[in-house]
Amino acid sequence: MVFACGEAPNLRHPHTFSSFRCFAKSLAFLPAGIYFGRMKKLALLFNLLLLSYLAAEARFPPDSLSRDAYISLVTVSPGPQLYSTFGHSAIRVVDKAQEFDFIYNYGTFDFDEPGFYLKFCRGQLDYQLSAYPFRYAFGLYRREGRIVTEQRFNLTRTERDSIYRFLNWNHLPANRNYRYDFFFDNCATRILDVFENTLGDSLQVDYSHQRNLTFRDYIDLYLTPLPFSDLGIDIVLGARTDATATTRQAMFLPDYLFEGFSGSVITRDGVGQPFVSQTDTLLASPEGYRLYQAFPLPVVLTWGIFLTALLLTFGVAKSWPIKWFDRLYFALCGIFGLIIALLWWGTEHKVTPDNLNLLWLWPTHLLVVFMLYRVHPPRWLNGYFVLHALTVAVLLLGWFWWPQRLHPAMIPMMLTLIFRSLWMGRQGGKS
């Protein structure tokens, strides 16, 4: 089944009904796992009827557009889930005379692709351009309480037909796939490429909004409602994320693509005109989801972990609680370190290398944890823990000067590692 970055299912056209079959198969699977006998047959019949309805609704794109057709950018506001928190962009083509109203969406991927999860983790997952009736996407956005804004473009018939032909060519099975990159090649940047490459020098996109923000700064603006996701992302993304993004690079986010097109100019015969002829709010959703500043629970919890380490070390007479604390905490840090190492050296992600978090999240902790179970740990653990404590201390002291910005919740996490590493180094590797 094909998903659109958590948006609407991909109803491929005009070349094949294969995605309709995938859509029906996925729908049939759900009731089949719950009902048996007659209920299973009824569920299958319902899905087949739904499939027939969808197939009848989805019109093939016409060979050419009528005179009053238009092309626009649809911008969808952020949603409550991580996959939707950055918003969404898509191209809409409307031809009322031919009853054609389709979304061209560069943010879709196929769960049926062999090795899907492995490719996703390794940064080798291909996304694709899909096209489907706008009404399906609009219905989804309405249910989610999203704001939908449309910018109609000021295009001549020749310009409009050129873009339309390119979209249909790009939607051919041989051309629709591309190697996705969240920052540099996604559903928003592809749209910018479509118009710049098709219209050429006649289009001057507005790149005047320079904010001097890094890539990490930009995504942090959208992660305020999701503090744990913010912490996790800051752990796995390396120093390359802290490079300053140009105005064009900032358009990997739909809101900034919208802003860039708002001030753009298209020039014909030496005369510049606004590229956006009309802006409409298609869905206001006054009671819908809005970005907000959530309580910084990860910071509170990590300070709580540090205080727990102090309490178990000095306030509890028995030794077994602090032993289990060390095993669990160092194992968890080792797992995070292993993930960072794999993302750095084992994937094609462009922004996971050069990650300074590996200086305090050592993957070798996973091996050391087993040594802590011994009655007499090896002597080299003394030097291991002291070296680790010194390394983390240097990283912490240089907090404001490193090329990678670290999350505030990491401060108590590092202090816990320094304290317990020095303690065990002094105790000969014993808790």
The model's pLDDT over 299-323, given as tens digits with 9 standing for 90+, comes to 999 999 999 999 998 877 678 888 8
Strand order in the sheet with 265-268: 203-204, 265-268, 271-274
Helix, strand, or coil (residue 132): strand
The answer to whether residue 21 sits within a structural domain is: no
pLDDT in tens, 401-411: 999 999 999 99
248-251, Cβ contacts within 8 angstroms, sequence gap of 24 or more? 248/192, 248/205, 248/207, 249/183, 249/184, 249/215, 250/209, 250/211, 250/213, 250/218, 251/188, 251/189, 251/192
pLDDT of the residue at 113? 77
Q: Among 257, 283, 309, where does a domain finish?
A: 283
Tokens of 171: 């939607």
Domain boundary among the residues 236, 256, 283 is at 283
| Confidence at residue 109, expressed as pLDDT on a 0 to 100 scale | 82
Rounded to the nearest 10°, the torsion over CA 399, 405, 408, 411 is: -40
Answer with the residue of higher pLDDT: 413 or 58: 413
Using CB atoms within 10 A of its CB, is residue 429 exposed (0-12), middle (13-18) or buried (19+)?
buried
At which residue do the structure tokens 């006054």 appear? 286
As a whole number of angstroms, the distance between CA 308 and CA 415 comes to 12
74 forms bridges with which residues in the sheet? 90, 150
Q: What is the pLDDT of residue 347?
A: 92
**Does 144 score more than 80 pLDDT?**
yes
pLDDT of residue 63: 87
The mean pLDDT value for 187-195 works out to 97
Q: Could you give the CA distance from residue 108 to residue 121 in angstroms, rounded to a whole number?
A: 16
Can you tell me the mean pLDDT for 118-147? 90
Same domain, 306 and 254: no
Residue 118 has pLDDT above 50, yes or no: yes
> Tell me, what's the pLDDT at 87?
95
What pLDDT, in 10s, does the model give residues 220-255? 999 999 999 999 999 999 999 999 999 999 999 999
Same domain, 266 and 307: no
The verdict on 107 and 199 lying in the same domain is yes
Percentage of the chain exceeding pLDDT 90: 68
Between 41 and 254, residue with greater pLDDT: 254
Q: Do 346 and 261 belong together in one domain?
A: no
Long-range interactions of 298-302: CB distance < 8 A, separation 24+: 298/227, 298/228, 298/230, 298/231, 298/407, 298/409, 299/227, 299/408, 299/409, 299/412, 301/409, 302/409, 302/410, 302/411, 302/412, 302/413, 302/416
pTM of whole model > 0.75? Answer: yes
Question: Looking at residue 26, what is its pLDDT?
Answer: 38
* Residue 44 maps to a domain: no
Q: The domain containing residue 336 runs over which residues?
A: 297-426
pLDDT at 197: 96
105 DSSP β-pair partners: 130
| Within a domain: 47 | no
Does one domain contain both 113 and 145?
yes
How many domains does one find in the chain?
A: 2
Does any domain span residue 9?
A: no
Decide if pLDDT at 390 tops 70: yes
Same domain, 337 and 369: yes
- Mean pLDDT in residue range 192-197: 97
Task: Identify whether 78 is part of a domain.
Answer: yes
Nearest residue to 74 via CA among 280, 288, 291, 221: 280
pLDDT at 23: 37
The pLDDT of residue 315: 78
Q: Please state the rounded mean pLDDT for residues 99-122.
A: 86
What distance in Å separates the CA atoms of residue 16 and residue 11, rounded to the nearest whole number? 10
Q: What is the arithmetic mean of pLDDT over 385-410?
A: 95
* Tokens describing residue 320: 């077994």
In a domain, 20, yes or no: no
Q: Domain check: are 199 and 304 in the same one?
A: no
Please identify, among 283, 307, 337, the residue that sits at the C-terminal boundary of a domain: 283
DSSP string, 227-259: HHHHHHHHHHS-GGGGSBPPTTGGGGSHHHHHH
CATH number at residue 146: 3.90.1720
Residue 33 token pair: 């796992």
**In the chain, what is the greatest distance between 2 CA atoms, to the nearest angstrom?**
85
Same domain (yes/no): 273, 340 = no
Mean pLDDT of 348-358: 95
Q: Within this chain, do residues 196 and 318 fall inside the same structural domain, yes or no? A: no
In a domain, 175, yes or no: yes
User: CA gyration radius for the chain?
Assistant: 27
**340 and 386, same structural domain?**
yes
Q: Label residue 17 by pLDDT band (50, 70, 90).
A: very low
- 309 and 278 co-located in one domain: no
155: in domain: yes
Residues paired with 73 in a beta bridge: 91, 151
Residues 6+ apart with CB under 8 A from 9: 1, 2, 3, 19, 23, 132, 136
Question: Is 321 in the same domain as 421?
Answer: yes
**Is residue 289 predicted with pLDDT exceeding 60?**
yes
* pLDDT, averaged across the chain: 86
